[in-house]
Structure 1
């Protein structure tokens, strides 16, 4: 019961941070590690648990998607296909290999969290060609299926560089694309038997609640200290995982 309450609170915090522009996995993933879930199983469980949070985020931003049907039809099949390939790569990766790689993935997520304001300020400063955009969407999707922490920041950057100049619309596109991309991997993870369901449900319920109350909370919390604090915790976790590996 104490573990479930801890994960419920961690999920709620992750959901709030996600609505504030942070990276939910940098809270949810360490919470699973803290209760004793091995890194590979924690990553899989985290992906499944946060699916509901992604759905609520996508629904919340549906008004910002008016007129963006062509963009979604262009990128959704590629995002879904390559994310599925990333999930399959994760499932066939030996656990010890993932243990060696995950510190660098966590550190990457922390870096992305720190540079997100810079990415936001650069919106509209450049424009990618169609081939570059397809390659970028593919790279982000592969990373999303394999690990995912920070994939949202990267996808927002790609949408901005692909021609959507408004940040909140790029964020809405990201929410829908990554939600679509996460469904098949979640099914694969569930079928694989790697999901720790006893820990997935409280984390998932908390994330949905956090996503719903997040906008109200985010308006009252200073964003820069929160962003820096989470990133520092991410770097500390990456160092610990590297030493443990």
Structure 2
């Protein structure tokens, strides 16, 4: 692949990852395979992907502005704290553990989140209608650890968590998801910048595309019907789980 073709390919993949990542929580289903396709090793693709997708959160939160803090501020603060702590733990786990040791359970985690999203109306009927802030905090902490370590499917996990244990509508859950994952990814990215095998050319080019895609995400998702979108995300999550399991 020539440098020009690789540039266009990574830029387009980044934009697709940014838009799809905001709308569905499945950015890595586009960005991670794209980095493998240009010749990066799995570990290099993983850390480079983490740095690139930070731009999705920056783009979407720049577009959303103060809407992030409308409503339940305490939940937003709890999510931010959990994201920071989880991102640190996840990055340390990746840098200190053997390659692939955690990835064995990744497909199952993604599949579980996808099923929770598909069953969200039934789960909400079984649950009380009150928000569960500490259950949300613990769930966000666990997801942020996973996001700092590997990350594929972390967005769909956050969406499933928020739609089951909070009263947020889908568009607000998607917006909060981008903020929380952006923070955990940023924390992990700092560690990877210092100690990880980052491919800076790929990270910068894809990051530009991710920012543009993330910036376009909020106005798009507000105009999409919540029910069909939730089902589409859930099916996409199951497909991602299968891909992660067989690759």
User: Does the 8 A contact of 1:124 with 1:161 survive in 2?
Assistant: no
Q: Which residue of 2 aligns with 1:167?
A: 170
Point out the more displaced range, 43-52 or 182-191.
182-191
1:31 counterpart = 2:38: no
Call closer, same or farther: CA 1:114–1:204 in 2, change over 3 Å. farther
1:157 counterpart = 2:164: no
User: Does the 8 A contact of 1:29 with 1:43 survive in 2?
Assistant: yes
Q: Which residue of 2 aligns with 1:147?
A: 150
Q: Which residue of 1 aligns with 2:10?
A: 7
Deviation of 1:57 after TM superposition, in Å, equals: 1.7
Give the Cα–Cα distance (whole angstroms) in 2 for the partners of residues 227 and 75 of structure 1.
22
1:109 counterpart = 2:116: no
Unmatched 5+ stretches in structure 2: none
Give the Cα–Cα distance (whole angstroms) in 1 for the partners of residues 24 and 214 of structure 2.
11
Give the Cα–Cα distance (whole angstroms) in 2 for the partners of residues 164 and 216 of structure 1.
21
Deviation of 1:44 after TM superposition, in Å, equals: 0.6
Q: TM-score, normalised by structure 1?
A: 0.79
Deviation of 1:207 after TM superposition, in Å, equals: 1.5
Q: Which residue of 2 aligns with 1:77?
A: 81
Give the Cα–Cα distance (whole angstroms) in 1 for the partners of residues 198 and 45 of structure 2.
8
User: Does the 8 A contact of 2:114 with 2:157 survive in 1?
Assistant: no
Give the Cα–Cα distance (whole angstroms) in 2 for the partners of residues 70 and 121 of structure 1.
26
Deviation of 1:228 after TM superposition, in Å, equals: 4.7
CA displacement, residues 27-60 of structure 1 (integer Å, 9 cap, x when unaligned): 1111111122111111110000011111112233
User: Does the 8 A contact of 1:124 with 1:163 survive in 2?
Assistant: no
User: How many residues get paired?
Assistant: 236
User: Does the 8 A contact of 2:60 with 2:216 survive in 1?
Assistant: no
User: Does the 8 A contact of 2:114 with 2:233 survive in 1?
Assistant: no
User: Does the 8 A contact of 1:54 with 1:179 survive in 2?
Assistant: yes
- Report the RMSD for the aligned CA atoms in angstroms: 3.1
Deviation of 1:72 after TM superposition, in Å, equals: 2.0
Give the Cα–Cα distance (whole angstroms) in 1 for the partners of residues 233 and 81 of structure 2.
35
Give the Cα–Cα distance (whole angstroms) in 2 for the partners of residues 183 and 84 of structure 1.
10
Unmatched 5+ stretches in structure 1: 241-245
Secondary structure, counterpart of 2:152 in structure 1: coil
Point out the more displaced range, 149-158 or 59-68.
59-68
Q: TM-score, normalised by structure 2?
A: 0.79
Point out the more displaced range, 177-186 or 45-54.
177-186
Q: Which residue of 1 aligns with 2:70?
A: 66
User: Does the 8 A contact of 1:51 with 1:183 survive in 2?
Assistant: yes
